[in-house]
A and B are shown apart, each in its own frame.
Chain A
Amino acid sequence: MSASASIAPPGRSAFQRFLSGYGQEIVVFLSIIFLFVVVGAINPRFLSDTNINSIFAGNAYIAVAAIGMSMIIMAGHIDVSVGALIGVIATIAGTLAVNGYPVWIAWLVPIIFSMAVNAGVGALVAYTRIPSIVVTLGMLSILKGGLISATAGAWITNMPAEFMIAQMRPFGIPSAVYFMVALTILASFFIKYTDFGRSIYAVGGNMEAARAAGINPERVVVGVFALHGFFAGVAGILFATQLQVIQSTVPPNLELTVITASVIGGVSILGGTGTVIGSTLAAILFACIGSALIFLNVSAYWLRAVLGLMILATVLADMARRRRAK
Chain B
Amino acid sequence: MKKLTLAALLGLGLVSGQALAAGWTGGDDQQTNPLACDGTPAAAAAMPYDGGAPTNPPDRKGKKITVVDVPKLIGIGYFNATSKGIADAAAELGNVDAKTDGPTKANIDEQITFLDNYITSGVDGILFAANDPVAIAPVLKKALEKGINVVGYDANSTPDARQWFVNQAQFNGIAKALVDSMAAEIGEEGGFAIVTSTFTTPNQARWIAEMSAYAEKCHPKMKWLETVEAQEDNNLSFNQATTLINKYGDELKGIFGMTSVATPASAEAVTQANKCGNIAVVGLATPNAMKPYVEKGCVKSVVLWNPVDLGYAAMQVLRSVADGTLQPGATSVKAGKLGELQVINGSEILLGAPYVFNKDNIGQFDF
Return the CB mask of A236-274 against B: 1 if under 8 Å, else 0.
000100111111111110000000000000000000000
Q: Is A310 an interface residue (CB 8 A)?
A: yes
Q: How many A-B residue pairs have CB under 8 A?
A: 154
Is B257 in the interface zone, CB < 8 Å from A? no
Contact (Cβ within 8 A) A242 B235: yes
- B221 in the interface, Cβ–Cβ < 8 Å? no
**B13-21, B155-163, B320-328: which lies at the A interface?**
B13-21
- Scan A25-37; emit 1 where CB is below 8 A from any B CB, else 0: 0010001001000
Smallest Cβ-Cβ distance to B11: which chain A residue? A296
Interface with A: B122-130, B243-251, B352-360, which one? B243-251
Instruction: Tell me if A15 is interfacial: C-beta within 8 Å of chain B.
Output: no
The CA of A145 and the CA of B103, in the complex, are separated in Å by 10
A300 near B9 with CB under 8 A, answer no
B231: Cβ under 8 A from any A Cβ: yes
Name B's interface SS.
helix
Interface string of B72-114 (1 = CB under 8 A from A): 0011110110000000000000000000000011000000000
Total chain B interface residues with beta-carbon distance under 8 A: 58
B211 within 8 A of A: no
* A296, B17: Cβ atoms closer than 8 Å: yes
- Contact between B14 and A298, CB atoms less than 8 A apart: yes
The answer to whether B268 and A302 have CB atoms under 8 Å apart is: no
Cα(A289)–Cα(B79), bound, Å: 33
Q: Which of these, A43, A153, A300, A301, contacts B74 with CB under 8 Å? A: A153
In the complex, whether A325 has a CB less than 8 A from a CB of chain B is no
- Nearest chain-A residue to B272 (Cβ)? A167
**A290 at the binding interface (Cβ < 8 Å):** yes
- Most A C-beta atoms less than 10 A away, residue of B5, B75, B238: B75
| Residues B265 and A243 in contact, CB atoms below 8 Å apart | yes
A320 is an interface residue with CB less than 8 A from chain B: yes
Question: Taking CB as reference atom, which chain A residue is nearest B237?
Answer: A243
User: B222 at the A/B interface (Cβ < 8 Å)?
Assistant: no
In residues 287-303 of chain A, which contact B (Cβ within 8 Å)? Answer: 290-291, 293-303
Query: Interface digits, A125-164 against B, CB 8 Å rule (1 contact, 0 not)?
Result: 0000000000000000000110110011111010000000
Whether the Cβ atoms of B246 and A151 lie closer than 8 Å is no
Distance of A34 Cα from B17 Cα, bound (Å): 21
A148 close to B75 (CB less than 8 A):
yes
- Asked whether, in the complex, the Cβ of A1 is within 8 Å of the Cβ of B1, the reply is yes
Q: B247, B249, B288: which has the most chain A beta carbons within 10 Å?
A: B247
**B50 an interface residue at 8 Å Cβ cutoff?**
no
Q: Which residues of A40-99 have CB atoms within 8 Å of chain B's CB atoms?
A: 43, 45-46, 48, 50-51, 54, 58-59, 61
Q: Which of B18, B231, B243 contacts A54 (CB 8 A)?
A: B243
List residues of chain B with CB within 8 A of the CB of A245: 234, 264-265, 268, 289
Is residue A8 contacting chain B, with contact meaning CB distance below 8 A?
Answer: no
Could you tell me the distance between the alpha carbons of A316 and B2 in the complex, rounded to whole angstroms? 8
Interface centre among A27, A58, A246, A295 (most CB of B within 10 A): A58
User: Could you say which residues of chain B place their CB within 8 Å of the CB of A316?
Assistant: 5
Q: B residues within 8 A CB of A27?
A: 2
**Which residues of chain B in 1-40 are interfacial with respect to chain A, using CB atoms and an 8 Å cutoff?**
1-3, 5-7, 9-10, 12-14, 16-21, 25-26
Report whether A295 and B247 are in contact in the complex, using a CB–CB cutoff of 8 Å: yes
Q: Across the interface, do B17 and A243 meet the contact criterion of CB distance under 8 Å?
A: no
Q: With A59-B239, A153-B77, A167-B272 in contact, is A45–B247 under 8 Å at CB?
A: yes
Q: A152-B74, A154-B77, A317-B1 are in contact. Are A252 and B233 (CB under 8 A)?
A: yes
**In the complex, are the beta carbons of B234 and A247 less than 8 A apart?**
yes
B16 touches A54 (CB 8 A): no
State how many angstroms separate the Cβ of A164 from the closest Cβ of chain B: 11
Distance in angstroms between the alpha carbons of A3 and B265 in the assembled complex: 53
Q: Is the CB of B292 within 8 A of A252?
A: no
Q: A54-B242, A249-B76 are in contact. Are A298 and B17 (CB under 8 A)?
A: yes
A173 interface hit (Cβ, 8 Å): no
Q: What residues of chain A lie closer than 8 Å to B231, measured between beta carbons? A: 252
Closest to B26 in A: A300
- Whether A48 and B246, one on each chain, are in contact in the complex, defined by CB atoms closer than 8 angstroms, is yes
> Cβ of A313 and Cβ of B9 under 8 Å apart?
yes
Min C-beta distance of B327 to chain A, whole Å:
36
B239 touches A302 (CB 8 A): no
Question: Using Cβ atoms and an 8 Å threshold, which residues of chain A touch B25?
Answer: 299-301
Shortest CB-to-CB span from B311 to chain A, Å, is 14
- 29 A–B contacts, CB within 8 A, in A order: A1-B1, A51-B243, A51-B246, A54-B239, A54-B243, A58-B239, A152-B75, A155-B289, A157-B288, A157-B289, A243-B234, A243-B235, A245-B234, A245-B289, A247-B77, A248-B75, A252-B232, A290-B243, A294-B244, A296-B13, A297-B17, A298-B13, A298-B14, A299-B13, A301-B20, A301-B25, A302-B13, A309-B9, A317-B5
Query: Besides the contacts A31-B6, A296-B13, A313-B2, what 18 more A-B pairs have beta carbons closer than 8 Å?
Result: A48-B246, A51-B243, A51-B247, A153-B77, A157-B289, A242-B238, A243-B265, A245-B234, A245-B289, A247-B234, A291-B246, A296-B10, A296-B14, A297-B18, A300-B229, A302-B16, A309-B9, A320-B1
> Which residues of A does B touch, CB under 8 Å?
1, 27, 31, 34, 38, 43, 45-46, 48, 50-51, 54, 58-59, 61, 144-145, 147-148, 151-155, 157, 167, 239, 242-252, 290-291, 293-303, 306, 309-310, 313-314, 316-317, 320
